[in-house]
Structure 1
Amino acid sequence: MSKPPIGRDTRLCMSLSGRPGNAGSRLHNYLYAAMGLDYVYKSFTTTDLPAAIGGFRALGIRGCAISMPFKEAVIPLIDVLEPSAAVIDSVNTILNDDGYLTGYNTDYSAVRTMLRASPADPAKPFLLRGSGGMAKAVAAALRYAGFTQGTIVARNPVSGPALAAQYGFQWLPQLPEQGAPLLVNVTPLGMEGPDARTMAYPQAMVEAAEMVIDVVAQPALTPLIRAALAAGKPVITGAEVVVLQAVEQFTLYTGVEPDRALVIEAARFAHGDMTADRLAAAL
């Protein structure tokens, strides 16, 4: 199927992130081309979020993916929240219908999908490091997947206890001496940039754990994921989560759903063989 050349009827979709990368653009544009859709996708960053969302609304841009640090700050700038985004109080996707903006959270459903395909045991405790917008989605996914014995580890004395209380978890301002069977990182530790070499949990905790989740997607092989794989632990990587949430965004933006084979093909193009192979095993 041939994609139409870019013209006045081409629909634009975009992302807003504090640290924009290329993987999202590669995945969305690959799917547009493969399905012959007259869309184009471009990543942006901004130092003026209200102005950026105002331009998104006024220019009729169809969809916008929201990444940290904007997932919570964007909420007052849109018109309505889809129920899961409202409950989680975090938005990672905005749909623009003729200037009316609806906020969604596709992080939540992506994490739930990966949890269902994983060996994670809901009867066992977990540690979750972080309390921002993505942490809210992951905590919600864990709670609704049946996990009840969780501890939120976050320095923020407001958002940390609030997130823990919302789902009946415990809160600690810093890592405890003892780990847990499931370790979850929802902070920038390990992300490309100044935190690239920092491991979110100590080596001893990783070796004692049964499973590790790291939602950092750039790179997929964070220091934490590398340590977990070296220790023979099952993992969920941020790249896997990013692909699944992006595919749900794609369907919201275009109204069409790519099949499993095409999703894996696009994941291979955007994120490489490891992510594609792991998704093929999970989906």
Structure 2
Amino acid sequence: MTTISSEDVIKEKILNVAKKNPKGISDKDITAAIPELSTGERIAVINKLLQQGSIDLFNQGGSLIYRLKIQTNKQAVKGADNEEKVVFNLIEEAGNKGIWIRDIRVRSNLANTQLNKVLKSLESKKLIKAVKCVNASKKKVYMLYNLEPDRSISGGAWYQDQDFESEFVDVLNRQCFKFLQQRADKIKNNPQGPIVGRTQSYATAAEVQKYITDLGISNVKLEVEDVITILNTLVYDGKAESSIYPDGSKVYRAIEPLLPTTGLVQVPCGVCPLIHKCTTTGLVNPQDCVYINEWLE
């Protein structure tokens, strides 16, 4: 087995894995990403990264998880003028949901020209970045350079460059439904009786996620919560029903719709990151909707 000799190279590889997985990585993830790394080397480098403050250690369900420590680059800001420090601190406080330039202007009390100059300076130093929002395509928010934008900003897996991927969502919708149908068909005539058969026809979101992952139809990594969003559109369409197991887990099964469905997934509302702002009677704030003008035209 080839051994990596350079400690710096190993550190860089581990940090790159952590950057791609902001929720944290395990020893198993590190081994999968760097298979040539021995156990002793991994432990030694991890300890060095912890001592340097590059990563944080968490105990998650009995497993050790390493998470990239949010580097505020205080040293880089230290030599900056007061205006840059004020703006940087405001952006840092906003976290991964970012802050509008208007709010920065109000809270920093800087003129437009000066604020733009400060923002460009911080961006050039790779301390901050501007991110477009799916719910306001003409606006952008600022956040720390190494942060992953919140799903309410990026739109999650259903958006590419702020554009809703309707075809991608439709494919996932059909494949999820196909999996539930196959599960139901296999045990339709269960010898143990219809009640047992009905119970066994349910599937968890994790099972559906594994099926979708194994198909290899997605270029992005789908989390279980992404699959739950798709499964919920099937429920809304009347193609599936959900139930809760005694252990509290939610499960889904395919059903025959009584009436032809309009197909909620055909419009973005089914997977909209702002759907929580809607009510049964309409939008709480219609101006927040990305799509309402398109559908009214």
**TM-score between the two structures when normalised by the length of structure 2:** 0.25
Which structure: larger Rg? 2
**TM-score between the two structures when normalised by the length of structure 1:** 0.25
Higher fraction of helix: 2
The structure whose RCO (Cα within 8 Å, separation 6+) is larger is 1
